[in-house]
Amino acid sequence: MSNILATLIAKLTASTISDLFLIIIFALFVTSTFFVIKKQSTRLVRVTPNLLTSLGILGTFTGIVVGLMEFDPNNITESIPALLEGLKTAFLTSLFGMFFSILFKGVEGIAEKKGEAEIVNVGPEEIYSVMTQQLSTIQDLKGSTDKLVVSVQGLDDMAEASNKQLALNEELLRAVKGEEDASLTSQIRNMRTDINDASRNVSKHFETQETRHEQFQEKLWSELKLFGELLSKSATEQVINALKDVITDFNNNLTEQFGDNFKRLDESVKKLVDWQENYRVQLEDMQKKYQLGVDAISSTEQSVVHISERAESIPVTMEKLYSVMELGHGQVTELEQRLEAFKDLRDKAVDAMPQIRTQLENTMTEISDSVKAASEHYEQMLEQSSKVIKDFSIAATEGADVLSEKLTTSAQDMGGKLIEASQVFESNAGEASSNMKTMNNELTTAAEQIRSELSDSLSDMNNVMRAMVTGIKEDAEVTSKTLESANIQLVSDTKAMRDESVNAIQQMKERLETSLNEVFQLQAREVQRTFSSLEDQIVKAVERTGSSVESQVEYFDKEMQQEINRTLELMGTELATVTQQFTRDYSKLTNEMSKVVSRSAQGAH
């Protein structure tokens, strides 16, 4: 904002700004005079004198700023004309504003006297209006008094601020003090040298003016001398000496007054330049601090953007982790199901193996007992037949073959035993063939007995085999039923386990989704809270920086206003003193001239 305003002011010239302020002051004077003539006591009329003076002072400050805008510390010689042009504009607007303020007060006083002269018949309405105006004036005066009290109360704060400013200036002076040519102290020293040279030039100019003034005095004296000789030769030497003393006193007083005033003006301008330089340094320091604040905010913004970018990758990573966890969970669940199935099969197999083993052992025991009994019976029969049968060897062989075939169909083990028994029988039959002849008669009688015994044995053996087959079939049916029931139970258990696994997987999935949603929501809240906190911190930092800058600018403006007011008041006081002294001296000169003229006239008579 300050750069834009400085650029706008730099585009304007001193004459343009001076014309603008003169037009505004003149327009305000004409408007307020119109209201006074119309006897309309408005607030604008009451504040017009102060407003005219304030506009003049504002024009003064503007002219000073314009002059300082073109002032180059590195090129003081060429910058002094622009500075003096701005100062001329500044003092011209102040003079114009004060002149119209005094003129308006005079016009207002004349209008009030004319209004008092015109008042002949005063009624209650006029008295009421006057009292109302007085009441408003008293209220305004009260407000001004309150403001004055507040201003007086703030003097302590201003004094403290001035002390702080003085301490800061001392620190700044110590900081910039140096011995190098490029240091601020050397530049100020060079500037002071240039200003001293300029002051010497001004002093030489004043001396030249004084010389010219003395020449003018001498010329005036010669002219007065001629005038005195022409008027009358009766003027005494005492009158001439008195006039000479008066003129000498006037010249001395004039020289002393204007010399002191110009010296004070020179000192005031120097102080103003020093103050402006300090103000510029402080503004540069403030600009650097403000730039540091902006850089800090920029770095904070970059950190926030970096955090946001990092936070954006978290949901993607969580989704990938979620898919990996789902895949791992599915594999674990499938493995658990398979392990459970193998476990159930193992348990069922373990439970069924004792029964199967028992059934097999019982079956094998029965078969072994049957085979053993049949083997013993056949051995006994073969032992008996080896003694008594020889003729029926062929029939016995055929019967043994038939028996062997039947035994083979019923049991392979029994067939093996019968084959062995048959072989034994054949071997025994070969041995017994020698005795068959002798035993032929005995075999005839025993054949019937053997046939009947074989029939009985075959019947018993068939019954035993049928019973054994029936038992095996029943045991197989029982085993099949047991396996079928176990299979049904296994299927139902597997189905129940599958349902339980599916439910457990669904519940685990829901819990996992709930947990992930809670984690994401918590993360989103944390990120949002972090962003809100960072945004609040940034806003607070910007507000603190803005308030600090505004307070510093207001403080500098107040200090500048006070310094310029004090300078203008001092200049006004000095100008008033010079004017009063000049008036007194001119009055004395006039009186002395009148006396000289009167004496000359008396001497002529």
**pLDDT tens by residue, 112-150:** 665 544 444 455 566 666 667 666 666 665 665 566 555
pLDDT at 414: 46
Q: Which of 422, 429, 392 is nearest to 405 (CA)?
A: 422
Q: What is d(CA 246, CA 358) in angstroms, rounded to the nearest whole number?
A: 163
Q: Please give the structure tokens belonging to residue 251.
A: 């010249």
Cα separation values, 352 from 8, 227, 360, 370, 479, Å: 107, 165, 12, 27, 9
pLDDT at 418: 44
- Please, are residues 88 and 63 in contact by the beta-carbon 8 Å criterion? yes
Q: What is d(CA 111, CA 51) in angstroms, rounded to the nearest whole number?
A: 20
* Run means of pLDDT, 10 residues per run, the chain, 605 residues: 68 76 88 81 78 84 76 72 68 83 82 54 59 66 58 55 60 57 63 73 74 74 69 57 65 60 67 75 77 74 69 65 65 66 62 64 63 57 58 56 57 52 50 52 58 63 62 61 62 65 66 65 66 63 62 65 69 67 70 70 62
Q: CA 441 from chain center: how many Å? A: 134
- Please, are residues 391 and 443 in contact by the beta-carbon 8 Å criterion? yes
Sign of the torsion formed by the C-alpha atoms of 175, 176, 180 and 183: positive
pLDDT at 34: 85
Q: Please give the structure tokens belonging to residue 415.
A: 């067939």
- What is 217-282 written as a DSSP string? HHHHHHHHHHHHHHH-TT--HHHHHHHHHHHHHHHHHHHHHHHHHHHHHHHHHHHHHHHHHHHHHH
pTM score of the predicted model = 0.24
Q: Which of 262, 135, 170 is nearest to 207 (CA)?
A: 262
- Please, are residues 599 and 235 in contact by the beta-carbon 8 Å criterion? yes
Sign of the torsion formed by the C-alpha atoms of 516, 519, 522 and 528: negative
DSSP, collapsed to helix, strand or coil, labels residue 177 as coil
Mark out the alpha helices in 389-435 (DSSP H runs). 393-410, 412-432
- Please, are residues 126 and 520 in contact by the beta-carbon 8 Å criterion? no
pLDDT at 126: 61
The 10s digit of each residue's pLDDT in 160-188 is 655 665 666 566 556 555 555 555 566 66
Residue 401, CB half-sphere, CA atoms under 13 Å: how many? Answer: 5
Q: What is d(CA 573, CA 11) in angstroms, rounded to the nearest whole number?
A: 34
DSSP, collapsed to helix, strand or coil, labels residue 12 as coil
CB neighbours of 174 closer than 8 A, spacing ≥ 6? none
Q: What is d(CA 590, CA 319) in angstroms, rounded to the nearest whole number?
A: 108
pLDDT at 601: 67
